[in-house]
């Protein structure tokens, strides 16, 4: 850790500062880790907050901690990341940073070529990658954004750790393994060389080869811990497991719920409201398996997992969704599906006691319904505002369930916004706003601005809601969202 001593000769963690571990829980572990690494005593802890995701230790007195940048200190395995990043030579770091403007212009071209080359050489990886996202270019765009960010932050990778964790959750749910990383590295470097030609000098290729090894090790370490956690929790498993469709319920014209129970009869592991599972579909007549992520739409602690799936029919140049159509048309009660353990970092902060605002569009209400159900059961005094946007009542899923939970909660309200209400909707006065969400209306239905905001829905909807919240000057720390599929350019910028 001497490199950190050169960078931060001495740092004090004062009252209000804290020690933070994203991967390990338990006060004793964190105290021992910092004592061993930095040779200082943690003696004045005023508060400890522990969850399945993190441990905060709030310090009540001044403590000298050599080598750490206040106010946050990251525990293993991120120490390895800091060591590895600094092991890159100054010349390598400078070379990587010099490629940032090139990646900004040619990044998507490089990643398109990368996927083409890799999937031609390794067609077995088509069992993992989302074919629809490939055809629509979303996967290529997401990878281009990730490579660009890695180049920008190559000398301070700790700053993009939240994005690393988000991607790692998806990798774990898809079954990405350490042996996949050398394959990706080989064809990513080949694509850089192929697209840039002579501009990709031997020096640039050597620097990216070294840097990719560092970045791959970070992902491998983080994902190893995630696999371990998924497998070792009660009822847990690490790959895909057989689940039986116990019940299939039509929720609206487009959305159907599937109630899933373990085929082996074992207990279901807990999950955090907002998390998702991956479903591995073996569709008759298809040469490859297809994996899709679906948010869990019921409260934790049930004897089943519930997913509520929108049927994606063909529209204009967009083909029908193979997995969603398969689930709606062919999967019946009693059928067996392959399911991953719950994953994802878009989760409800249950420690924060401030009001909660849940905003959803279309099928994006699924994680919000899970959060609402959890809050209704565990936080009767916490104010909740539930806002949902749909085309009309025919497309509005789980309305009765939401209204029942809101009605049973003393401080919860629900609001419906229909963009194209039917005549029946009008006669029944089934909605509160016609058209699209706008800031003036949101301000009129949200009683307290100082709240935690969670939102989910189609990309255009999310971009709009994000813009409205920023216009209202909601702090970034209070804005949380989940997007289905790879991150787009605006989402990468927001992160």
**What domains appear along the chain, each with residue ranges and CATH number?**
2-76 (no CATH), 86-232 (1.10.490.10), 240-340 (2.40.30.10), 356-494 (3.40.50.80)
pLDDT at 137: 65
Tell me if residue 259 is catalytic: no
216 by Cβ neighbours in 10 Å (0-12 / 13-18 / 19+) ranks as middle
For residue 318, what are the β-bridge partners?
A: 315
Segment among 11-15, 298-302, 370-374 with least mean pLDDT: 11-15
Select which of 181, 259, 305, 466 is catalytic.
181
Note if the pTM is more than 0.85.
Answer: no
**Contact 379/407 with Cβ under 8 angstroms?**
no
Nearest to 367 by CA among 418, 296, 287, 415: 296
DSSP code of residue 159: G
**Banded pLDDT at 22 (limits 50, 70, 90):** very low
CA distance 495 to 491: 6
Residues constituting the chain: 495
CB atoms inside a 10 Å sphere around CB 213: 14
pLDDT at 407: 95
In angstroms, the Cα distances linking 379 to 83, 303, 350, 371 are: 42, 21, 8, 11
Tell me if residue 312 is catalytic: no
Better pLDDT: 307 or 167: 307
pLDDT at 338: 98
pLDDT in tens, 162-189: 788 888 999 999 999 999 999 999 999 9
Q: Which two tokens stand for residue 449?
A: 């601005």
Average pLDDT, the chain: 81
> Three-class SS string for 251-311?
CCCCEEEEEEEECCCCCCCCCCCCCEEEEEECCCCCCCCEEEEEEECCCCCCCCEEEEEEC
CA distance 22 to 56: 9
- Which H or E run contains 65? strand 63-65
At a CB cut-off of 8 Å and minimum separation 6, what does 78 contact?
Answer: 22, 23, 158, 161, 218
For residue 386, what are the β-bridge partners?
A: 358, 414
Nearest to 57 by CA among 93, 85, 16: 16
pLDDT (mean) for 417-436: 97
Segment among 31-35, 130-134, 453-457 with least mean pLDDT: 31-35
């Amino acid at each position: 850790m001497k490199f950190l001593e050169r960078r931060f000769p001495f740092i004090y963690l004062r009252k209000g500062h804290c020690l933070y571990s994203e991967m390990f829980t338990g006060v004793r572990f964190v105290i021992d880790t910092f004592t061993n690494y930095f040779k200082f005593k943690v003696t004045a802890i005023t508060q400890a907050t522990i969850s399945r995701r993190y441990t905060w230790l709030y310090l009540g007195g001044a403590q000298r901690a050599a080598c750490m940048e206040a106010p946050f200190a990251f525990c293993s395995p991120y120490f390895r990341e800091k060591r590895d990043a600094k092991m890159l030579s100054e010349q390598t770091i400078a070379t990587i940073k010099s490629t940032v403007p090139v990646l900004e212009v040619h990044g998507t071209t490089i990643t398109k070529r990368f996927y083409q080359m890799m999937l031609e050489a390794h067609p077995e990886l088509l069992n993992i990658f989302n074919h629809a996202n490939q055809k629509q270019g979303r996967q290529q765009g997401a990878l281009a954004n990730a490579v660009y960010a890695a180049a920008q932050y190559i000398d301070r990778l700790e700053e993009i750790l939240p994005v690393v964790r988000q991607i790692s959750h998806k990798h774990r749910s898809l079954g990405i393994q350490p042996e996949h990383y050398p394959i990706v590295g080989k064809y990513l470097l080949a694509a850089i060389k192929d697209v840039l030609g002579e501009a990709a000098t031997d020096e640039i290729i050597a620097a990216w080869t070294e840097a990719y090894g560092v970045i791959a090790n970070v992902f491998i370490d983080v994902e190893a811990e995630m696999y371990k956690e998924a497998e070792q929790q009660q009822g847990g498993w690490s790959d895909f497991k057989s689940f039986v469709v116990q019940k299939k319920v039509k929720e609206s014209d487009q959305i159907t719920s599937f109630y899933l129970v373990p085929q082996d009869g074992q207990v279901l592991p807990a999950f955090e409201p907002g998390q998702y599972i991956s479903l591995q579909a073996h569709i008759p007549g298809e040469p490859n398996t297809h994996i899709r992520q679906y948010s869990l739409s019921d409260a934790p602690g049930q004897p089943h997992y519930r997913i509520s799936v929108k049927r994606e029919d063909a529209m204009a140049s967009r083909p029908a969704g193979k997995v969603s159509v398969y689930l709606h048309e062919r999967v019946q009660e009693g059928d067996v599906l392959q399911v991953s353990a719950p994953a994802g970092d878009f989760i409800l902060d249950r420690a924060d006691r401030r009001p909660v605002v849940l905003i959803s569009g279309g099928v994006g209400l699924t994680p919000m319904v899970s959060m609402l159900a959890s809050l209704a059961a565990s936080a009767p005094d916490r104010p909740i505002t539930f806002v949902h946007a749909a085309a009309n009542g025919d497309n509005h899923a789980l309305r009765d369930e939401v209204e029942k939970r809101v009605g049973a909660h003393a401080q919860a309200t629900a609001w419906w916004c229909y963009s194209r209400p039917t005549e029946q909707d009008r006669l029944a006065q089934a909605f509160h706003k016609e058209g699209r969400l706008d800031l003036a209306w949101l301000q009129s239905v949200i009683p307290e601005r100082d709240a935690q905001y969670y939102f989910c829905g189609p990309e255009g909807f999310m971009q709009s809601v994000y813009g409205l919240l920023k216009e209202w000057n909601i702090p970034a720390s209070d804005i949380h969202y989940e997007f289905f599929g790879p991150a787009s350019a605006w989402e990468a910028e927001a992160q």
